[in-house]
Amino acid sequence: MFWDLFRPVFWDATDQDGVGKTLFNYRRMWLIVVVSIAGVSILPLLIMTFMNLNLYEKGMRAEVTYPLVRLVSNTRRSLTYFLEERTSALTFIVRNNDFSELKNQDRLARIFLDLKETFGGFVDLGIIDSNGTQKSYVGPYELKGRNYKEQDWFKEVIVRGIYISDVFKGFRHIPHFVIAVKHLLPDGDFFVLRATIDTERFAKLVSSIDLRPESDAFIINHQGILQTSSRYYGDVLSKIELPLPDCPERTEICEVQDNSGQKFIVGCAYIAHSPFILVLVQKPIVLLQSWWKLKREMLALLISSIVIILVVILGAATMLISRIYIADMNRLATLHNAEHANKMASIGRLAAGVAHEINNPLAIINERAGLIKDLFTYTDKYAQDERLLKLVDSIIAQVDRCRTITHRLLGFARHIDVQKEEIDLPKLVHEVLGFLEKEAEYRDIQIDVQVDEDFPTIISDRGQLQQIFLNIINNAFAAVDDGGHIQIEMKKLDENRVRISIADDGCGIPPENLKRIFEPFFSTKKKKGGTGLGLSITYGLVKKLGGEIEVQSQVGKGSKFTIILPVGRA
């Protein structure tokens, strides 16, 4: 039903539409026009929109990631400085003190006190000989004499010279990490200065970062073990499940997805000369809210623009193709009218010739029949023979009837060419009915003609009026069943107009067809040979004569055509 309201007039048209070949396949033409214009209109819009979105996304991401990069880099520098400062202090101590001085417990205690007051963060300090035995120790535990030879950190410091460990629990069973510095002695032996660093102070450097409530910052080692506590991933020495890039040398920002499918923006940086990696985790929904808002607005604008463009293209293409189709149909109608007019003119000339040829023998028959009647009337032998006189009268009556038919044919043929004259419209309607009287008698169709007494003669074209009434009355004959009724009324509306109505009690016209019956080539009888041009031609002829035509119909009760014509007198 919705499609019926907006279906273009050309949608159901075919190449062979009724009376001739159309110039184009209008549905294909409409599709080509719509697709072509839509393509050249929408494609650049899509390209421009996605290019702009890409540029905006890069700009917005740079705007979002730059503060993260700066924050991570600054924190990485602070952590690096924290470790280098304490490593340098330990290196200075071993280079400016003999092994024998450092083994002195009092001397080591003074150094330890100076380190705590100057740098802070030191928990204890110990001297370990090349056999791994701690020779002197200053701190809260009883670790003097403990041997570290088989521990990994001791093996590492022998190889590297300076060693910073992961956070571990060790003998004291609390998280800590150590910085150990190896020093070679002149005799080729060596010793190690080992310091334990306060992890809480180390962690404060990370927790002091100004973060959003939904953000997190922590330190991990290369195995993904937390070296400081995390807001989201647990306490120190817990294993995190967040996938991270491998040991970035520089600060790197990337987007990762955890096991639950949630995405994060992660900034990470390697702390030089240590096993530590600084990690900052930020939920992208906060950072990219403005970008997503802009993206939604641009997509909404894009969709709205595409809808408007499509509506305009569909409307304009449909209107233009419809006008071309109507012009093509008018061309076909004109060609058909010309063909029809030529055919009617030929039939008219043929009928006129036949009627003329028949009139001559009819005149002779009528004359001879009249002479026979006179001879019978004035001859005593036959004057009283009524049977002979009735036969002669019958011959004369049939001759008159033949003359009437030939006069009608001559009159119809004479007015094929357009010309205006004074016309007795009731007489013209009866002439038209004369062509159909045999069919009316055969089908028992009752035709009632009512004419007002003051119905005037009009100035109009006889041939076109004959065609108008012949078309409408023919349609009425086709609509009614055998025994049906057709009523013709002719009234004077005013001094300038007359009204002729032709009503039948036939099958009627459905409402959906009623508004289209005057369209060219619209017919419900195409399968029965109808061209769909009869009422269209009738409508055009009425308009051409300055009149109006309208139709009222009800399915099952009949139709009524009303024609209003000008009287045509100046």
Stretch 237-258: mean pLDDT: 76
* Each residue's pLDDT tens digit, 196-227: 988 887 788 888 777 777 788 899 988 889 98
Q: Could you give the CA distance from residue 552 to residue 525 in angstroms, rounded to a whole number?
A: 19
- Low-confidence winner among 74-78, 96-100, 410-414, 480-484 (lowest mean pLDDT): 410-414
Q: What pLDDT is stored for residue 131 in this prediction?
A: 92
Q: Residue 346 has which token pair?
A: 């030929």
Query: In this structure, how many other beta carbons lie within 10 angstroms of the beta carbon of residue 266?
Result: 21
Q: Could you give the CA distance from residue 267 to residue 256 in angstroms, rounded to a whole number?
A: 10
CA 414 to mean position of chain CA atoms: 61
CA 210 to mean position of chain CA atoms: 48
Q: Which residue has the tokens 């998280």?
A: 175
- In this prediction, residue 58 has a pLDDT band, given cuts at 50, 70 and 90, of confident
122 neighbors 198 (Cβ within 8 angstroms): yes
Residue 305 has pLDDT above 90, yes or no: yes
* Each residue's pLDDT tens digit, 137-180: 998 888 889 898 888 888 989 998 999 999 888 777 888 889 99
pTM of the model: 0.48
Q: Which residue has the tokens 């990490």?
A: 177
Residue 527 has pLDDT above 60, yes or no: no
Closest by CA to 566, choosing from 512, 499, 520, is 499
Rounded to 10°, the helix 105-118/26-96 angle is 140
What are the CA-CA distances from residue 15 to residues 317, 528, 537 (Å)? Answer: 20, 20, 22
What is the average pLDDT score of the chain? 84
* Each residue's pLDDT tens digit, 105-141: 999 999 999 988 888 888 899 999 999 999 999 988 8
408/293: higher pLDDT: 293
Angle among Cα 350, 352, 357 to the nearest 5 degrees reads 95
Closest by CA to 9, choosing from 542, 549, 519, is 519
244 neighbors 256 (Cβ within 8 angstroms): yes
Q: What pLDDT is stored for residue 66 in this prediction?
A: 82
What are the CA-CA distances from residue 276 to residues 128, 385, 530 (Å)? Answer: 25, 149, 94
Partnered with residue 129 across adjacent β-strands are 191
Partnered with residue 499 across adjacent β-strands are 491, 564
Burial of 132 (0-12, 13-18, 19+ CB in 10 A): middle
Query: In this structure, how many other beta carbons lie within 10 angstroms of the beta carbon of residue 336?
Result: 19
Q: Could you give the CA distance from residue 482 to residue 446 in angstroms, rounded to a whole number?
A: 9
* DSSP code string of 480-496: SPTT-EEEEEEEE-SSS
Query: In this structure, how many other beta carbons lie within 10 angstroms of the beta carbon of residue 25?
Result: 14
* Each residue's pLDDT tens digit, 6-21: 788 788 776 655 555 6
* Each residue's pLDDT tens digit, 309-324: 999 999 999 999 999 9
Q: Could you give the CA distance from residue 154 to residue 148 in angstroms, rounded to a whole number?
A: 6
Q: Could you give the CA distance from residue 125 to residue 115 in angstroms, rounded to a whole number?
A: 10
Q: 497-504 and 485-492: which strand pairing?
A: antiparallel
Stretch 172-190: mean pLDDT: 88
What are the CA-CA distances from residue 410 to residues 337, 354, 533, 563 (Å)? Answer: 22, 9, 26, 26
Share of the chain above pLDDT 70, in %: 89
Q: What pLDDT is stored for residue 35 in this prediction?
A: 93
Q: Could you give the CA distance from residue 232 to residue 65 in angstroms, rounded to a whole number?
A: 21
Burial of 342 (0-12, 13-18, 19+ CB in 10 A): exposed
